[in-house]
Amino acid sequence: MNLLERGLLSKPGSCDEDSGSEDETILYTASFQEMEDNFVKYQTAQWALYSLLLILAWGFGLFMLLYLPVRRHILRKDIQSRKLYVTPNAIVYKYRKPVPFPCFGVLKKEKHVLLPSVADVVIEQGIHQNSTGISRSGYLQSLFGVYFIRIENEDVRRPPSDDVQIQGVVYPSAFRKAVLAGL
């Protein structure tokens, strides 16, 4: 975390710019490990259904089916690298996701949502729109027990697709309670 982010997340009056370590107290840590198999099965089923449709339409789905083992590897590495925790000042979500061809490296992302700006934590399992505007099937989510968590920002007039969306948390209601208790 760079100096600006540390300054924004620290309490007013406490200047710890000299300390290089992150001594932030973690109030709650969400887990993804128990959901790994169900998450990979859900994504695989969704990929296979899209592939079958594209085989019937243009034949491109055959290449998608051949890519399936690589996709499963990427999904496993993705969910194994996820870290989600609540601190006294923010919700922190970090992950390292391999790019579509793993030999080209990984995509590292870190998102911080300040707790005072959180309006609500929505738990979804059903039809909704993701950040690309594509609706996802609720049947597959309920079949594999996969939930989406959407963190809505306060006083922001943007579409729901701009909110932070997290998929695959084991106990989403416990995470929601931890965030709302921190407000």
pLDDT tens-digit map of 74-133: 999 999 999 999 999 999 999 998 888 878 889 999 999 999 989 899 998 876 555 555
CB atoms within 10 A of CB 158: 9
pTM: 0.78
- Whether the per-residue pLDDT at 17 is higher than 70: the answer is no
Q: What is the pLDDT of residue 136?
A: 55
Least confident of 41-50, 116-125, 171-180: 116-125
The pLDDT confidence band at residue 15, using thresholds 50, 70 and 90, is very low
Q: What is the pLDDT of residue 100?
A: 87
Q: Where are the alpha helices (DSSP H) in the chain?
A: 3-9, 36-57, 61-66, 68-81, 138-144, 172-182
Higher pLDDT, 7 or 48: 48
- Whether the per-residue pLDDT at 19 is higher than 50: the answer is no
Query: Alpha-carbon distance 88 to 111, whole Å?
Result: 15
Higher pLDDT, 73 or 154: 73
Q: What are phi and psi of 159, to 5 degrees?
A: -65, 155
Q: What is the pLDDT of residue 20?
A: 39
